[in-house]
Amino acid sequence: MATVHETIDRARLRELIERERGKLLARTEGSQRYYERALAVMPRGVPSSFQAADPRPIYLSHGEGSHVWDVDGNEYVDFHNGFGVMCVGHANAAIVRAVRERAGRGSHFAAPTEGSIVVAEELVRRFGLPQWRFTNSGTESTMDAIHLARAATGRDLVLKIEGSYHGHHDAVMVSVRPPLDQLGERGVAASVPFGAGHPRAVSELTRAIPFNDADVLERVLEDTGDSVAALILEPAMMNITIVAPRPGYLERVRELTARYGVVLVFDEVKTGCTIAAGGAVERFGVQPDVVCLAKAVAGGYPSGAVGMTETLADLITSGSVRQVGTFNGNPLSMAAAQAALTEVLTAEAYAGFEERDARLRAGLDDVIERYGLPCHTVGFGSKGCVVFSSEPLYEYRDYATKVDEELSTLSWLYHMNHGIFMTPGVDEQWTLSVAHTDEELQRYIDAYEAFARDVTAA
Ligand SMILES: Cc1ncc(COP(=O)(O)O)c(C=O)c1O
């Protein structure tokens, strides 16, 4: 990745990275033993490649409230929160009670239970879409959304946003992290497959355009609009740090997709139930045709959900689209979702996220200013991050050329070595839970200040 931050002493930065990597490895020798065992039975020693991290994964033993413990007994305040799932905090009493009670009466029937009705009713209230189905993951939610869009329109092409991740099914594993030299001309919709194993013929049906540029969308729709089934996008991009929509962008996207009969899919796997009760729909006030949820929706249990208009729902009712799954609406996941959405993630909880996001970002902004770091903060509700770039990001091409990967890596190491469990890599953000206290937010700021002091020391 290119970087433009020449004020930082690179040699010193690399030395600090080596020093902090060494410290982390030394503090987590138990993880090393797990890692060696795991490598014998799982590629990269992890159940999902997203759990692989440099210098190696840290294996956790348990969590409670805002804290997690690794297998060496190190305690951390958790800002990773399971890649944005655990807004309810770990082992939240309301969720534990609901799941325990449900488990004692049977955990799975593949027949509907009342829990799924209650959760669907709550999602109607939050997101304003009248019909819902359940899935087991974000991947399944976006896959179902695209099936619905193709069935509704009789068209095959899908538009997505350059640099966005929507799960790992064929239709969306396109232009997720396109290398700079394969990006092509800006504004020309392109398909760069992400990973092997996806048929070329399928990848080519998905084309990526830049975020925050409705003029490009308009041009692409003028050329190909009558072949496009869906535009899928994260209303605020959350897999390349956080990239907010420019004022008016989502409104124009809504207007253009409606004009060309293109199904507008909001992938709210990350924003849903985190940046407001009704996710991006509520926060930005734009209503799509489909909302995809997963992660935080089920309070730490595996479930996804797809919300849709009555017209799209009719395709499922008629049997035209086969939206199915043995574990869809699993009673345990529904019990957890019901408790999360109706008891824990209340209006007060969302007000609390706003306050804590503001406090945390103010503390970090102050450090950034005092040490003259080439960084800024972005946040909405329970989601936020430091972006390691002095300039704002509007789209993937900004992210790929402006974010300072080395600075970000060092900051992550400082957090981990100061007892802050944080998402590895440059792409992610923190997730606040209802359990975080002001002292714990201060701990995050203090660790960031230790990083700032050391990396800028003459
Ligand atoms: C925006 C977005 N959509 C979809 C997914 C896929 O969700 P899952 O990992 O539950 O399949 C993710 C996962 O990180 C995501 O961030």
User: If DSSP codes are grouped into helix, strand and coil, which group holds residue 126?
Assistant: helix
pLDDT digits (tens, 9 = 90+) for 46-96: 999 999 999 999 999 999 999 999 999 999 999 999 999 999 999 999 999
Asked if 326 and 110 touch (Cβ cutoff 8 Å), the reply is yes
Please work out whether the CB of residue 166 comes within 6 Å of at least one atom of ligand 1.
yes
Helix (H) or strand (E) holding 148: helix 138-153
Q: Is the pLDDT of residue 5 over 60?
A: no
Instruction: Count the alpha carbons within 13 Å of 249 in the hemisphere toward its beta carbon.
Output: 19
**φ, ψ (nearest 5 deg) of residue 436:** -65, 135
pLDDT digits (tens, 9 = 90+) for 411-448: 999 999 999 999 988 899 999 999 999 999 999 999 99
- Category of 43 on φ-ψ map: left (φ > 0), alpha (ψ -120 to 50) or beta: beta
Average pLDDT along the chain: 96
Q: What letter represents residue 410's amino acid?
A: L
Please work out whether the CB of residue 270 comes within 6 Å of at least one atom of ligand 1.
yes
Q: Return the residue matching tokens 């305690």.
A: 75
Question: What residue's CA is closest to ligand 1, atom 2?
Answer: 166
pTM of the complete model beyond 0.75: yes
Q: What letter represents residue 384's amino acid?
A: G
Give the full edge-to-edge strand order of the sheet including 376-380: 376-380, 383-387, 430-431
Please work out whether the CB of residue 167 comes within 6 Å of at least one atom of ligand 1.
yes
What is the distance in A from the centroid of ligand 1 to the CA of 15? 35
Cα angle, residue 135 at apex, residues 160 and 235 outer, rounded to 5°: 30
C-alpha 399 chain-centroid distance? 16
User: If we measure between CA atoms, which residue out of 455, 454, 414 comes closest to residue 79?
Assistant: 414
C-alpha 319 chain-centroid distance? 32
pLDDT digits (tens, 9 = 90+) for 298-342: 999 999 999 999 999 999 999 999 999 999 999 999 999 999 999
Q: Is the pLDDT of residue 189 over 90?
A: no
pLDDT of residue 2: 38
